[in-house]
């Protein structure tokens, strides 16, 4: 279903009648509706509540409220019964010949594990067969007005951004294999639409909050502190789930744990704690020496976690928005096959994939630092400051913790 705001309908009407937006504002001003109230409609997906505003909208658009709702892609609750009673007739009215034409694209770069296309991800996905990838990861532009390569507009109207998002999501869903998973990284404000749309054809798997470092407060709003990573599975059950263990969260100054694990310390798995749906250990790529390009590069650690958790060696990972190529670089280091597209400059990605030493070293460091409850440096810090470490419990009665309380088994999956 497409997303339309009332504002889109108004603009369409203005265009249809060869008028200007100023003519529209004059029309509404005569009905005591300010220009600012019209502009605000760009940000919302509903018809305003004020009676005179609704009436003026109907007059301007020459539509009933029901027609406005239907034009915005919604069936009002009070009409659902008649909608379902008339499904056959509606389907007949909607039916149109299916367009089966697909174009063929030549890869920009290929190696033994993967294939990169330079072009628009929607067009490229159109050329791919159904059910051909095991994992989709996507980190699209967030519509924040950032400057990307020519041909990429990051300042779309709300409805244009959402409709474009739905279009590439639908293709991602089509090319995903049954049991495969799709992970989309975005701001919570867009994740809401993404999750709702994916929920129409896939099964919810997780909504992960990724701690946003170094964010700035926004006036009259809650301080933004997380990115969303929404994950859905095709069918009802994911084919692969490799549990990921990470070190216990501790204070980097004293080494003390940030959460109180009470009397259960001796039952904690020395290989680390199971990863939850709040990820606080992912840092942005900020350092010049780590960056492959100036902006918008995700960390190797994030992609390592997603790809390791959701796929096995030999599986195919797809990312429609290549950027600097983090997904492909990590996928191939983990022995996964990969496929992807980038509308802008692909040279950076190719260079990164050919010169993979830095990513390899980073990945090795990340792998060394996971799979344990404390890293060697944190263990040393804890020893120095008198905090417990796993070795303290070796040989003790395993139903008792240090302070004698009955313990839960945190090591269970
Ligand atoms: C947020 S960045 C992705 C960054 C990437 N995850 C990384 O770690 O480097 C989004 C990328 O999508 C690309 N892009 C935007 N629209 C596109 C489209 N229609 N098809 C393919 N790529 C597109 C942009 O050029 C940009 O490089």
Res. 410: pLDDT tops 60: no
Q: Which residues contact 95 (CB under 8 A, 6 or more apart)?
A: none
Confidence of residue 303 (pLDDT cuts 50, 70, 90): very high
What pLDDT is attached to residue 157? 86
Atom of ligand 1 nearest to the CA of 303: 8
Q: pTM to 2 decimals? A: 0.84
Radius of gyration of the chain (CA): 26
Atom of ligand 1 nearest to the CA of 319: 6
Mean of the pLDDT values across residues 381-404?
A: 70
Atom of ligand 1 nearest to the CA of 120: 20
Which residue puts its alpha carbon closest to atom 7 of ligand 1? 297
Going from the Cα of 322 to the center of ligand 1, the distance in angstroms, rounded, reads 5
Which residue puts its alpha carbon closest to atom 18 of ligand 1? 120
DSSP 13-52: HHHHTT--HHHHHHHHHTTT--HHHHHHGGG-SS--S-HH
Going from the Cα of 146 to the center of ligand 1, the distance in angstroms, rounded, reads 12
Going from the Cα of 251 to the center of ligand 1, the distance in angstroms, rounded, reads 35
| Mean per-residue pLDDT over the chain, rounded | 88
Confidence of residue 292 (pLDDT cuts 50, 70, 90): confident
What pLDDT is attached to residue 296? 76
Rounded to whole angstroms, the Cα distance separating 305 from 282 reads: 10
Q: Which of 124, 137, 140, 171 to mutate to test the pocket of ligand 1 (most atoms within 8 A of CB)?
A: 140
Kindly compute the dihedral angle of the four CA atoms of residues 150, 155, 157, 158, in this order, to the nearest 10 degrees: 120
Please give the helix or strand (H or E) that residue 278 lies within, else none.
Answer: strand 278-279
Nearest C-alpha neighbor of 69 from the set 96, 48, 91, 90: 48
Binding pocket residue ranges, ligand 1, CB within 6 Å = 120-121, 139-141, 148-149, 152, 296-298, 320-321, 323-324, 326, 341-344
Strands (E), 65-224: 109-110, 114-118, 133-138, 176-186, 203-211
Confidence of residue 100 (pLDDT cuts 50, 70, 90): low
Rounded to whole angstroms, the Cα distance separating 383 from 392 reads: 10
Confidence of residue 99 (pLDDT cuts 50, 70, 90): low
Enumerate the β-bridge partners of residue 210. Answer: 227, 279
Which residue puts its alpha carbon closest to atom 17 of ligand 1? 343
Q: Which residues contact 130 (CB under 8 A, 6 or more apart)?
A: 174, 175
Going from the Cα of 252 to the center of ligand 1, the distance in angstroms, rounded, reads 34
Going from the Cα of 171 to the center of ligand 1, the distance in angstroms, rounded, reads 16
Atom of ligand 1 nearest to the CA of 341: 21
What pLDDT is attached to residue 402? 40
331 half-sphere exposure, CB direction, 13 A CA radius:
30
What tens digit of pLDDT does each residue of 39-84 get?
888 877 788 889 999 999 999 999 999 999 888 888 889 999 999 9
What tens digit of pLDDT does each residue of 162-187 get?
999 999 999 999 999 999 999 999 99
Going from the Cα of 139 to the center of ligand 1, the distance in angstroms, rounded, reads 7
Which residue puts its alpha carbon closest to atom 25 of ligand 1? 344
Backbone φ, ψ for residue 117 (5° rounding): -110, 140
Which residue puts its alpha carbon closest to atom 26 of ligand 1? 323
148, 167, 169, 344 from 151: Cα distances, Å: 8, 18, 20, 8
What pLDDT is attached to residue 101? 58
Res. 338: pLDDT tops 90: yes
Going from the Cα of 303 to the center of ligand 1, the distance in angstroms, rounded, reads 15
Backbone φ, ψ for residue 402 (5° rounding): -55, -40
Confidence of residue 407 (pLDDT cuts 50, 70, 90): very low
Rounded to whole angstroms, the Cα distance separating 157 from 7 reads: 10
DSSP 167-180: HHHHHHHHHEEEEE
Confidence of residue 116 (pLDDT cuts 50, 70, 90): very high
What pLDDT is attached to residue 183? 98
Look at the block and give the residue holding tokens 């429609």.
Answer: 320
Note whether 306 and 180 are within 8 A (CB): no
Rounded to whole angstroms, the Cα distance separating 394 from 229 reads: 38
Atom of ligand 1 nearest to the CA of 292: 9
What pLDDT is attached to residue 103? 65
């Amino acid at each position: 279903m497409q997303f339309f705001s009332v504002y889109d309908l108004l603009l369409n009407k203005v265009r249809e009648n060869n008028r200007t937006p100023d003519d529209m504002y004059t029309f509404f001003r005569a009905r005591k509706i300010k220009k600012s109230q019209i502009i605000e409609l760009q940000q919302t997906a509903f018809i305003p509540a004020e009676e005179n505003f609704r009436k003026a909208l109907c007059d301007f658009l020459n539509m009933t409220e029901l027609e406005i709702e239907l034009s915005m892609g919604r069936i009002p609750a009070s009409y659902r019964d008649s909608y379902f009673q008339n499904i056959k007739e509606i389907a007949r009215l909607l039916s149109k010949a299916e367009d089966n034409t697909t174009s063929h694209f030549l890869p920009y770069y290929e190696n033994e594990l993967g294939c990169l296309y330079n072009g628009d991800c929607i067009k490229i996905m159109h050329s791919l067969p159904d059910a051909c990838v095991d994992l989709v990861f996507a980190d699209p532009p967030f519509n924040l007005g950032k400057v990307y390569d020519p041909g990429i507009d990051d300042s779309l109207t709300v409805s244009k951004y959402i409709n474009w998002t739905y279009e590439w999501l639908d293709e991602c869903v089509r090319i995903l294999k049954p049991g495969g998973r799709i992970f989309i990284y975005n701001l919570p404000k867009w994740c809401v639409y993404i999750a709702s749309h994916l929920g129409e054809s896939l099964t919810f798997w997780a909504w992960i909050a990724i701690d946003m470092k170094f964010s700035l407060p926004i006036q009259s709003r809650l301080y933004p502190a997380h990115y969303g990573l929404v994950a859905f599975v095709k069918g009802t059950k994911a084919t692969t789930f490799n549990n990921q263990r990470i070190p216990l969260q501790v204070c980097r100054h004293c080494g003390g744990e940030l959460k109180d694990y009470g009397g259960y310390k001796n039952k904690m798995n020395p290989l680390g704690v199971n990863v939850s749906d709040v990820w606080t250990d992912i840092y942005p790529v900020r350092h010049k020496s780590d960056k492959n390009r100036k902006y918008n590069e995700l960390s190797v650690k994030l992609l390592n976690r997603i790809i390791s958790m959701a796929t096995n060696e030999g599986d195919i990972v797809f990312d429609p928005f290549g950027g600097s190529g983090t997904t492909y670089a990590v996928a191939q280091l983990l022995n996964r096959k990969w496929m992807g597209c980038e509308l802008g400059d692909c040279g950076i990605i190719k260079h990164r994939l050919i010169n993979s030493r830095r990513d390899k070293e980073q990945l090795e460091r990340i792998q060394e630092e996971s799979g344990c409850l404390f890293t060697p440096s944190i263990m040393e810090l804890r020893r120095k400051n008198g905090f417990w470490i796993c070795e303290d419990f070796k040989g003790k009665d395993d139903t008792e913790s240090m302070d004698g309380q009955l313990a839960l088994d945190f090591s269970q999956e």
